[in-house]
Amino acid sequence: MRRLKQMEDVPVQRQGCASPRSMRLDKAMEEQKDLEKWGQPPDWNLRLKTSSIDRDGIFAGEKIPKGSVVIEYVGEVVRHVQSNRRERRYHAKGVESTYMFRFDRDMIIDATNVGNLARFINHSCQPNCDTTAKVINGQKRVLFVAAKDIKEGEELTIDYQLKPEEDESKRVPCNCNTPHCRKYLY
């Protein structure tokens, strides 16, 4: 099972998070600008290929400039309790690959049944994409943004930021192969 990152420590852009009812005009305009900027991530040429990090990964089919929204993590938004229930259900059904992106306790995106290519993004201790969240039309959306200029053919990665298991024997090694690898995925 690929358990995507715990994101408590990830910087979240707070602007535009007001509920629509309480939103002031300037906020609304700001959100409109955000919508134009973030609402439709550009349709980059991305490919699913075998990865040296873990099984399949997403690769850039063209150059992607730093700061570009690369892809949105799409799935069913569930709460913590629901996600635990779902995981048990998937386990009972023998579903081998589940994809849960833990944003915080109130927002877990389950891309097991409904999702896009983003669910295949691999972890790297020195990733080329940052994770950010934006509230657009009252809905929190998770986006991966190029943290540097990405070359054609480069694998896209994010930092899952998982805490390593206390019991060393249960730890899962990291295969990111970067100079500052933390050795363990979790």
Residues engaged in binding Zn ion (CB under 5 A): 125, 174, 176, 181
User: What is the residue type of 122?
Assistant: N
Least distance CB 154 / Zn ion (angstroms): 16
Choice between 14 and 180, CB closer to Zn ion: 180
Least distance CB 178 / Zn ion (angstroms): 6
Choice between 114 and 172, CB closer to Zn ion: 172
Query: What distance in Å separates the CA atoms of residue 164 and residue 120, rounded to the nearest whole number?
Result: 21
Beta bridge partners of 49: 57
Least distance CB 61 / Zn ion (angstroms): 24
Beta bridge partners of 6: 102
Instruction: At 25, give phi and psi (nearest 5°).
Output: -60, -45
Q: Is 27 helix (H, G, I), strand (E, B) or coil?
A: helix
Choice between 34 and 54, CB closer to Zn ion: 54
Least distance CB 162 / Zn ion (angstroms): 11
Instruction: At 11, give phi and psi (nearest 5°).
Output: -65, 130
